[in-house]
Amino acid sequence: MQNILKRSEPISDCLWLRQTYRDSIPADCRGAYYEILNKLVAYFKELVDDIIRENGGTISLPMETDLFKNYLSGYNLIYTGFYNFWGVDGYFETDPDDNKTINIYYNTNTPLTRQRFTKTHETFHFIESLDDKFLDLFDNLLLNSTLPKGVIIKLMEKATDKATAMYLMPNEYFIKKYREIKNPKKLATLFGVSEQTLCYHLKECGITI
């Protein structure tokens, strides 16, 4: 696996992020929340680019989790579905008998687009767990930030959601396809995501429909 701690840009580098939809973040937390979220988006943008480069830059739609297997060489990723009525989308855990085997669980009582999103999202959570820099940031936020714990958890989940969207809809290729098709429903089908996820990502890319 490529060492994700040896990046050319530190996690503190900022990337401008368009705030285009309601976020339910308390007004007195918004400044700090978005400052940190911008930094995490920059971190994940580089990570997604690394994952794609590790696979020779090849993109096959819809994007599945195969690319992670090359990037996380040395780890055995096992994806297992479970049926759940109570809104749990997914989680991951390390095999108690083999710390190189990672079990990633996803709720099959959801649309296939959601299952694909969940598998990717939980894989990113596993990658985060390997990165001391990311874990230090999270710990420092919990210990030293004025942000409430609930807002910090929301921040980390939102950042991982954005990483998932960037992986499933790689920006440069995504924009190119949008210019060719310009039909959100067809684009959502092509990339294997929900229309809502696709429309959010269009806004992130500065495209108004």
Structural domains in the chain?
27-204 (1.10.10.2910)
Identify the pLDDT of residue 22.
54
Q: What is the DSSP letter of 63?
A: P
The length of the chain in residues reads 209
Q: What DSSP string runs through 108-119? A: SSS-HHHHHHHH
- Do the beta carbons of residue 4 and residue 130 sit within 8 Å? yes
Kindly give the confidence (pLDDT) of every residue in the chain, 209 residues in length, as a single tens digit, with 9 standing for 90 and above: 433 333 333 333 333 343 434 577 888 888 999 999 999 999 999 999 999 999 898 889 999 999 999 899 999 999 999 998 888 899 999 999 999 999 999 999 999 999 999 999 999 999 999 999 899 999 999 998 889 999 999 999 999 999 999 999 998 899 999 999 989 999 999 999 999 999 999 988 888 77
Q: Within 10 A of 51 (CB to CB), how many other CB atoms are there?
A: 23
Q: In what order do the strands lie in the sheet with 90-95?
A: 76-82, 98-107, 90-95
Q: Is the dihedral of CA 137, 140, 144, 149 positive or negative?
A: positive
Query: CA 81 to CA 151: how far, in whole Å?
Result: 29
Identify the pLDDT of residue 16.
37
Reference 199, options 186, 184, 181, 189; nearest CA is 184
b/e sequence 77-90, b meaning 16+ C-beta within 10 Å: bebeeeeeeeeebb
